[in-house]
Amino acid sequence: MVKKVKMSITKFSNEKDAILACQSGQIEAYRYLVEKYKTRAYHTALMFTKNRDDALDLSQEAFVHAYRAIDRFDPQKNFYTWFYRILKNLCINYVNHKRNTRKVKEQIGRDKVTDFTGNSADNPEQIFEQNERSQLLWNALNALKDNDREIIILKDFDGMSYAEIADTLGIPAGSVMSRLYYARQRLLRKLEKIDEVF
Amino acid sequence: MKYSEINCQQAQILIMGKIDGELPAEENRILDEHLAVCSKCKYEYERFVQLKKGTSEMKFEILPEVQWDAYWDQVYNKIERGIGWILFSIGFILVASFWGYQALEGFFMDPKQPTILKIGVGALTLGLIFLFVSVLREKLMVKKVDKYRSVQR
């Protein structure tokens, strides 16, 4: 049975200690990990869902899933790259569900499709600070294929190192640079179509 | 003209490492030498620097502090509720199975009834209990999280 023990999150000086404590059933130790990664998790979910409420909900859900599976996690490994895969799967499932529901509604033709979730689904102004350049970049990013967008997001928005990206995507470390090159090259081409500044 | 140790294709890949600050010193030197003599790659490099600058300047809208303050509590509640559901499900299945057994005790104890029938009725009852718990849980969870329930049909 889980006990809610009053404990300062500063008790854990590193991630590995917190993970080991979680694995021994101290749920409060998990707070250290949640506090450390909640902003990154939320922003990652936001890039998938493009909606604040969904991103908050899914990032929290991913922490719950990760906690339930933490016994199977190797503390020697990087927590966030493992957690990212859980979060990504949840977000993809959610986005697919949303897309399929939208398709069904379009076929039925009864509902107003554009805002049926109650939010501005693709509005970058809600995600990024209002800025014309950011808006152009966001539009171009969204025009990329999922694989290209993901690697750029991992590097430029999630701030992962090449080693972390390789671990997260399950690709050789040596191919991260070339994958990034082709993804950024395609992003530049999209931007050139939209605007001459780039 | 100065000689370059790498060709343009290799240089363009290395440019990624340079703009991301992940290029080892030796490769950085080789790339710099190439960029000094190749205007095409130099131009590419500047475009990627511009792009990197653009993405690094994109700032997420800041969430209200109150949402961050409540974040851990919400995660904690979800974890605890999950454990509660597991315990509830196990307890309900055990209690309902016991009641089911008591209600059908006469049937199960009757030596005239064939064993295969007893197994079938037992499996049917247990299956119904599992399905009931599963549907009940789904109904309650979907009601809580379904974002589409308010959509007019």
Q: Using one digit for the tens of pLDDT, what is the confidence trace for A74-104?
A: 998 899 999 999 999 999 999 898 888 777 7
- Measure CB to CB from residue A181 to each of B13, B54, B74 and give the nearest one: B13
- Work out the mean pLDDT of chain B and round it to a whole number: 85
The average pLDDT across A151-170 equals 92
Do residue A156 and residue B72 have CB atoms under 8 angstroms apart? Answer: no
Residue A102 CA: distances (Å) to CA of A48, A105, B53, B151 = 16, 5, 36, 11
The average pLDDT across A122-141 equals 72
Q: Per residue in B74-116, pLDDT tens?
A: 999 988 887 777 888 889 889 988 888 888 888 888 888 899 9
- pLDDT of B57 reads 84
**Residue A37 lies inside a defined structural domain of this protein:** yes
b/e code B43-73 from CB counts within 10 Å (16+ = b): ebbebbeebbebbeebeeeebeeeeeeebbe
The reply to whether A157 touches chain B by the CB within 8 Å rule is yes
Q: Per residue in A4-62, pLDDT tens?
A: 444 455 567 788 889 999 999 888 899 999 999 999 999 999 888 888 889 999 999 99
Do residue B58 and residue A131 have CB atoms under 8 angstroms apart? Answer: yes
**CA dist., res. B92 & res. A78, Å (int):** 39
Residue written as tokens 């549907």? B135
Q: Per residue in B21-46, pLDDT tens?
A: 999 999 999 999 999 999 999 999 99
**Residue A155 lies inside a defined structural domain of this protein:** yes
A65: left (phi over 0), alpha (psi -120 to 50) or beta: alpha
- pLDDT of A2 reads 45
Q: What residue numbers bound the domain in which A99 lies?
A: 12-108
Instruction: Count CB-CB contacts under 10 A for residue A62.
Output: 24
* A126 lies in the same domain as A170: yes
Confidence of residue A3 (pLDDT cuts 50, 70, 90): very low
Cβ-based neighbours of A92, under 8 Å, separated by 6 or more: A48
**Residue A103 lies inside a defined structural domain of this protein:** yes
Q: The tokens of B38 are what?
A: 């190749």
Is A121:A115 a contact under the CB 8 Å cutoff? yes
Domain final residue pick, A62, A79, A108 = A108
* A20 lies in the same domain as A59: yes
Domain final residue pick, A52, A84, A108 = A108
**CA dist., res. A182 & res. A185, Å (int):** 5
* A74 lies in the same domain as A147: no
Instruction: Count CB-CB contacts under 10 A for residue A184.
Output: 24
* A127 lies in the same domain as A103: no
Q: The tokens of A191 are what?
A: 């931007």
* A16 lies in the same domain as A103: yes
- pLDDT of A129 reads 67
- Measure CB to CB from residue B61 to each of A68, A126, A181 and give the nearest one: A126
* A83 lies in the same domain as A136: no
The average pLDDT across A141-163 equals 91
Domain of A153, CATH number, reads 1.10.10.10
Domain of A47, CATH number, reads 1.10.1740.10
* A104 lies in the same domain as A127: no
* A20 lies in the same domain as A93: yes
Instruction: Count CB-CB contacts under 10 A for residue A130.
Output: 10
Cβ-based neighbours of B105, under 8 Å, separated by 6 or more: none
Q: Per residue in A100-117, pLDDT tens?
A: 877 777 676 655 444 433
The pTM for the full model equals 0.71
Q: Is the confidence at residue B17, as pLDDT, over 50?
A: yes
* A71 lies in the same domain as A145: no
The reply to whether A113 touches chain B by the CB within 8 Å rule is no
DSSP for residue A72: G
**Inter-axis angle of helices A132-142 and A176-194, nearest 10:** 120
- Measure CB to CB from residue B61 to each of A1, A30, A129 and give the nearest one: A129
Confidence of residue B149 (pLDDT cuts 50, 70, 90): very low
- pLDDT of B101 reads 87
Contacts 24+ apart (CB under 8 A), B6-9: B6/B30, B6/B31, B6/B34, B8/B34, B8/B38, B8/B40, B8/B41
* A79 lies in the same domain as A31: yes
Q: How many domains does chain A have?
A: 2
The DSSP bridge partners found for residue B74 are none
